[in-house]
Amino acid sequence: MLEDVVLADLTAELPSAVRLQRLVRTLREYFHCGAVGLLRLDGDALCPVAVDGLTREALGRRFVVAQHPRLAAILARRETVAFPPDSTLPDPYDGLVDNQVGEPLPVHDCMGISLHVEGSLWGALTLDALTPGTFDARAQDDLQRFTLLVEAAVRLTRLEQDLRRLRLSRSDAVEGDGESREGEIIGQSPVIRQLLDELAVVADSDLPVLLTGETGVGKELFARHLHQCSRRRRRPLIQVNCAALPESLAESELFGHVKGAFSGAGNARAGRFEAADGGTLFLDEVGELPLAIQAKLLRTLQNGEIQRLGEDTPRHVEVRVVAATNRNLHDSVRAGHFRADLYHRLSVYPVPIPPLRERGSDTLVLAGHFLELNRTRLGLRSLRLSPEAEDALCSYDWPGNVRELEHVISRAAIKALSQGACREDIVTLEPGLLDLPLAMPSAPEVAVVPSRSQPRESLHDSVTRTQRQAIRHALDSAEGNWSAAARLLDVDASNLHKLARRLGIK
Ligand SMILES: Nc1ncnc2c1ncn2[C@@H]1O[C@H](COP(=O)(O)OP(=O)(O)OP(=O)(O)O)[C@@H](O)[C@H]1O
């Protein structure tokens, strides 16, 4: 029964975007139709918040109601409005239905109904069926009946969003409620909301996803979120950092090996692909994968089979691959460092994660989140930013993105505490406290001329000291992540490793 399925989803602990996504999918299955859209009224336009059977472009659209007579007719009434195949009114989804490949919609059935939440018009639900006659009188009645459930799901989502907003707006944190959770995606800016909506849609498909974006934007966090939102969430999520895989071990790490496959292979071992069977394999920094392994990865993506090193018989694996990179893979392909065919396989669904500087007020929302985490860790009653510190955070460019912000706040909080800045249990972060990390020098700026206090330092010593400083600083900023540090210094990760070893940096 449709009611049972929807009710189960309403009471299950699901991210709200996933709940709405499952709802439209359930409706599409129940009504045996080609596409279902749940649209929220935003000013003069209807904006899809969950779709099934429509292309991803539909999600980013604003359908201005006055330009779409079908939508206007649906919004004008409180009961099901049906458009039979002979209706002359244009369908707003022309070219957006998934199997249309941009073709105009053929003769089809359509029906829709307006949705009301807390007494006011909220939006609309639309259904399109490519087989005329699908939406008979009974289907129209059913839609009317189920609308109550759809409205309940929308109301629940709204309540959750209000609660979340309330929680985040309490920058003046009250006594320890410990509600700020690590690993949670924080952000209310339109770009992040749209991103989350998009991920909710793609999560349930098995399409490979390629997350791109600068260092520290949260690619790993979003990859985890994608897995959590997918039907695979009870199965493993296995992460592989491709930059940390030495070429000699990469094959056995990914695909496993049999006993004696190479010297040192004392026992047979399953690789990461097998470990991720039924779940998700997250290939972080995929742009760093050695070319020889790229060919093998491509084969696995093509036929779903892996071959353990030293074994002849292939094994079948059922794995969804999510990859991430902060390189421009187009450039890597052009430079011959990345296979074009693998690039096309991995980027079936590319998801660019926006840099922090494009997320508007999210900088302060995130700062509030990290402050709250530090407050709990440091056992403080209250911790807040001074207005000057807020201004400084907002006017900074954040080349290291959210990771850099996280560090800035942690350092500033600890510094404030260590300097005894506590007054009646309230710590105010003064702007000066942010100066050090905010002025994070890029590599060339670190290369300072020896100071007067070291007049006899040789050129060699001076260079070594500067290199050491720059590497430590970059590693510190990148939280010990070598590839991220290499990117901050604009050097190759393996060169950085070599140089660090020579300089005695562990
Ligand atoms: N929207 C967000 N909400 C809360 N925390 C975030 C958010 N985005 C990123 N973070 C935090 O910032 C840090 C860096 O994120 P993450 O490691 O996912 O970035 P990344 O893009 O994978 O970086 P890199 O390319 O350098 O590996 C992590 O501690 C993560 O939890």
**The predicted structure's pLDDT at residue 13:** 58
In a domain, 275, yes or no: yes
What range does the domain containing 363 cover? 359-438
**The predicted structure's pLDDT at residue 439:** 36
CATH number at residue 396: 1.10.8.60
Report the C-alpha gap between 389 and 428 in whole angstroms. Answer: 9
* Type of residue found at 404: E
The alpha carbon torsion through 483, 484, 488, 494 (nearest 10 deg) reads 0
**The predicted structure's pLDDT at residue 133:** 87
CATH number at residue 319: 3.40.50.300
In a domain, 180, yes or no: no
Ligand 1 pocket check for 487: Cβ under 6 Å? no
Ligand 1 pocket check for 244: Cβ under 6 Å? no
Report the C-alpha gap between 395 and 455 in whole angstroms. Answer: 38
Token pair 């292979």: residue: 265
In a domain, 70, yes or no: yes
In a domain, 179, yes or no: no
Ligand 1 pocket check for 217: Cβ under 6 Å? yes
Q: Tell whether 480 and 340 lie within a shared domain.
A: no
**The predicted structure's pLDDT at residue 203:** 85
Report the C-alpha gap between 130 and 169 in whole angstroms. Answer: 46
Q: How far is CA 3 from CA 8, 141, 152, 275, 448, in A?
A: 8, 14, 12, 37, 69
Report the C-alpha gap between 489 and 443 in whole angstroms. Answer: 5
**The predicted structure's pLDDT at residue 273:** 95
Give the residue, by CA position, lying nearest to ligand 1 atom 18. 218
Report the C-alpha gap between 394 and 434 in whole angstroms. Answer: 12
- The preferred substitution site among 403, 477, 479 for testing ligand 1, maximizing ligand atoms within 8 Å of CB, is 403
Q: Tell whether 43 and 117 lie within a shared domain.
A: yes
Q: Tell whether 459 and 409 lie within a shared domain.
A: no
For residue 222, the CA-to-ligand 1 centroid distance in Å is 8
Give the residue, by CA position, lying nearest to ligand 1 atom 31. 183
User: Domain ends where: 298, 320, 352?
Assistant: 352
User: Domain ends where: 410, 438, 466?
Assistant: 438
In a domain, 443, yes or no: no
Both ends of the chain: CA-CA distance in Å?
Answer: 60
Q: Tell whether 482 and 431 lie within a shared domain.
A: no
Q: Tell whether 270 and 395 lie within a shared domain.
A: no
Q: Tell whether 367 and 340 lie within a shared domain.
A: no
Ligand 1 pocket check for 368: Cβ under 6 Å? no
Ligand 1 pocket check for 406: Cβ under 6 Å? yes
**The predicted structure's pLDDT at residue 441:** 35
Q: Tell whether 347 and 367 lie within a shared domain.
A: no
In a domain, 182, yes or no: no
Neighbour-count burial of 117, counting CB atoms closer than 10 A to its CB (0-12 exposed, 13-18 middle, 19+ buried): middle
Greatest Cα pair distance, the chain, in angstroms, is: 93
**The predicted structure's pLDDT at residue 462:** 55
In sequence order, which residues have a C-beta less than 8 Å from that of residue 474 and are 6 or more positions away? 443, 485, 486, 488, 489
The CA angle 216-447-462, to the nearest 5 degrees, is 130
User: Domain ends where: 169, 204, 230?
Assistant: 169
Contact between 126 and 36 under an 8 Å Cβ cutoff? The reply is yes
Q: Tell whether 325 and 380 lie within a shared domain.
A: no
In a domain, 63, yes or no: yes
- The preferred substitution site among 361, 402, 410, 490 for testing ligand 1, maximizing ligand atoms within 8 Å of CB, is 402
Number of domains within the chain: 4
Token pair 């840099």: residue: 355
For residue 357, the CA-to-ligand 1 centroid distance in Å is 14
**The predicted structure's pLDDT at residue 56:** 62
Model ipTM value:
0.98
Neighbour-count burial of 151, counting CB atoms closer than 10 A to its CB (0-12 exposed, 13-18 middle, 19+ buried): middle
* pTM of the predicted protein model: 0.58
**The predicted structure's pLDDT at residue 476:** 77
Q: Tell whether 19 and 147 lie within a shared domain.
A: yes
CATH number at residue 43: 3.30.450.40
Q: Provide the edge-to-edge strand list for the sheet that holds 209-212.
A: 237-241, 280-284, 320-325, 209-212, 349-352
Which residue ranges in the chain fall short of pLDDT 70? 1-3, 5-17, 56-57, 59-60, 99-104, 161-183, 381, 416-466, 490
For residue 218, the CA-to-ligand 1 centroid distance in Å is 3
Contact between 258 and 311 under an 8 Å Cβ cutoff? The reply is yes
Token readout for 286 is 């995929």
At residue 201, the 3 state secondary structure works out as: helix
In a domain, 202, yes or no: yes
Token pair 């189920």: residue: 146
Q: Tell whether 94 and 8 lie within a shared domain.
A: yes
Q: Tell whether 102 and 231 lie within a shared domain.
A: no
In sequence order, which residues have a C-beta less than 8 Å from that of residue 196 and are 6 or more positions away? 17, 185, 225
Counting Cα atoms < 13 Å in the Cβ hemisphere of 330 gives 2
Q: Tell whether 345 and 417 lie within a shared domain.
A: no
Report the C-alpha gap between 256 and 392 in whole angstroms. Answer: 50
Give the residue, by CA position, lying nearest to ligand 1 atom 10. 218
